[in-house]
A and B are shown apart, each in its own frame.
Chain A
Amino acid sequence: MALPVGRPEEESGLEQIEVDLLLEGIYRRYGFDFREYAPASLRRRLRRRMDGERVETLSALQSLVLHDPQVMERLLLDLSINVTAMFRDPTFFLAFRRQVVPLLRTYPFSRIWVAGCSTGEEVYSLAILLAEERLSERTRIYATDINEAVIDVARLGVFPLEKMQEYTHNYIRAGGTRAFSKYYVARYDGAQFARSLVDSVVFAQHNLASDAAFNEFNVITCRNVMIYFDRPLQDHVHRLFYESLATFGILALGQKESIGQSPHEGAFEELAAEERLYRKVR
């Protein structure tokens, strides 16, 4: 009996089956959950690992990944996108200084959640900004990421020396008013940022996909994290943020992420639309 198999134009349907099975396998074997990641980029990263392992099909990659944890480790590196920078998108930090800082001044104390903080560059940038605005004593930053390894780097606060020129430039464009070099000391292994900057920062592991809300915040920034998620997971995270924000709290997204994707869009008004700063009004 001939089995009914798909026509060639259904090849992409076949690929989707293989992707689904692989991700399900990874989840059940290792506990990493990539099932709700944006499919187009995910497929590219999987294909890169296929090339790296010299296999022709996703099913073959699946077999390797399930039987060999070292292959899983390599795949994990392909799937984790941790790129970040200090004062990334300087105009965002400028808008934060001009439009969010005055709001923070009206509170005796405020909490900021940096969700998906990666190796911490964004946290140190915010901490510098708050120190310059004399708000350090009145704010607490909670910095979280799914990945323990990047949080460890963030806690250390040592960033590549060769980046300092770029970061200095960003800092100035972000409205920085001091000598950027006074915030770090050059060491053989990198630029060690002042510990005092992050004295009151709480670093913690937190998975946006599965962990619950853990506090009420006046500001949540989640930049360049949700672009890696598919739409249902984005909805889920937006709900989490909505529930975690105080009334009149601020939500900051990445330069190319829009509140239009949020099921709670109607509850926000634009604070600085170009810079993706929104305010929860109901």
Chain B
Amino acid sequence: MSYELIAIGASWGGLHAMSALLDGLAPEVDPPLVLAQHRRVDSQRGALAELLQKHVERPVREPDDKEPIEPAHVYVAPADYHLLVENGFFSLSTDARVQFARPSIDVLFESVAAAYAERAIGIVLTGANEDGARGLAAIKAAGGATVVQDPASAERRFMPEAALALAGGADAILPVEEIPGFLYELCVGARR
């Protein structure tokens, strides 16, 4: 099995968790990482991508509508847009908020489940709401791999717990520092 896309959802505490994840990421792990991070609608354009870029070599960017998805990139959903994937490219929308969120993690994950199915990995990180739970369940049902940040180690445990409850567990439940190693096993280990 080879994985072609890693989808990540984060809310409260996400900048910190995502930074830690990128810090530990080996360059050989080359599927694109696609992040939906809740934040204020008036967040400065590109600011989150800039902050995350400090933690990783590969380019971090907010994709445009219909932009091709490339390996070894980190993509961040722009503030106030939903980010969806089609097979091989992004699609943005300003449809209504889902559970008060835009970008919504569920919207991203459900599109990932539909387009990438068993070629996807879904990761739910820290947060104080239930977004991502339905999406993670969809990725799991489509045959993808699932990872949830260990609630005990998360800055806010509610979101990882909700994901675990709805998806009925995950392939791995790990402190964020150990997620890069698990991704290495999934994406590179299998190739050896």
Q: Interface of A with B (CB < 8 Å)?
A: 9, 12, 15, 38-41, 43-45, 81, 83, 224, 226-228, 231, 234, 254-258, 260-261, 274
Contacts and interface: CB of A to CB of B under 8 A. Distances in A.
Contacts of B64: 256-258, 260-261
7 contacts: A38-B86, A38-B91, A39-B86, A40-B114, A44-B111, A227-B92, A234-B66
Interface string B79-97: 0011011100001111100
B65 interface: yes
A40 B94 contact: no
Contacts of B78: 255-256
A256 B81 contact: yes
A83 B94 contact: yes
A40 B86 contact: yes
Contacts of B107: 44
A227 B114 contact: no
Contact of A227 (B85, B94, B143): B94
Contacts of B92: 227, 256
A45 B95 contact: yes
A44 B117 contact: no
Contacts of B118: 9
A108 B13 CA distance: 55
Contact of A261 (B66, B86, B115, B142): B66
Contacts of A255: 45, 78
Contacts of B86: 38-40
Contacts of A227: 65, 91-94
Interface residues of B, number: 27
Interface in B98-133: 107, 110-111, 114-115, 117-118
A41 B66 contact: no
Contact of A41 (B45, B63, B82, B117): B82
A41 B115 contact: no
B114 A41 contact: no
B52 to A, nearest CB: 18
B171 interface: no
Most buried by A among B63, B78, B94, B111: B94
A12 B86 CA distance: 12
A228 B93 contact: yes
B67 interface: yes
Nearest to B113: A12
Contacts of B142: 12
B65 A258 contact: yes
Contacts of A234: 66
Interface string B41-70: 000010000000000000000111111000
A40 B85 contact: yes
B115 A81 contact: no
B115 to A, nearest CB: 7
A38 B115 CA distance: 13
